[in-house]
């Protein structure tokens, strides 16, 4: 019985060491810059591939003038094909940051708009691809 336990431990230990370390660098893609139609707002960033899906990190720059800068992300779900949108805004002149974690997505698109503190109102860029599988 002891011999069987030692044999099992001898088999399991080398397999555990063969796994990739947790600190392994994930795959990274850069996107942007994307500017609003009037050029008063801009966004850029990176997409990280991680264990459960994708992490979109970005910077959103608002220049002088009235209103706020908006980054609108739209992702297509791989399970049902539906699109979901998420918006991030920056109402102070300068650069702000945002993060959005995605799981089960086929593609992610984004656009940069001008707007108020409650919603984007116009001067939007065209939809730009951030990530597309396949």
Instruction: Sketch out the chain's domains with CATH numbers.
Output: 27-132 (2.60.40)
Average pLDDT over residues 44-61: 95
CA distance 101 to 27: 15
Per-residue model confidence (pLDDT) at position 26: 63
CA distance 48 to 108: 13
pLDDT tens digits, one per residue of 88-119: 999 999 999 999 999 999 999 999 999 999 99
Helix (H, G, I), strand (E, B) or coil at 12: helix
Written as six digits, the tokens of 69 are 């800068």
- Band (pLDDT 50/70/90 cuts) for residue 134 is low
């Amino acid at each position: 019985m002891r011999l069987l336990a030692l044999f099992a431990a001898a088999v399991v230990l080398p397999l555990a060491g063969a796994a990739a370390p947790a600190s392994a660098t994930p795959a990274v893609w850069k996107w942007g810059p994307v500017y609003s139609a009037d050029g008063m707002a801009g966004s850029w960033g990176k997409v990280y591939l991680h264990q459960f899906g994708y992490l979109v990190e970005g910077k959103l720059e608002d220049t002088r003038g009235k209103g706020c800068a908006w980054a609108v992300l739209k992702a297509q779900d791989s399970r049902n094909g539906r699109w979901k949108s998420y918006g991030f805004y920056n109402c102070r002149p300068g650069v702000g940051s945002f993060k959005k974690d995605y799981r089960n997505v086929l593609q992610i698109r984004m656009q940069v708009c001008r707007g108020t503190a409650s919603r984007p109102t116009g001067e939007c860029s065209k939809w730009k691809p951030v990530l597309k599988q396949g």
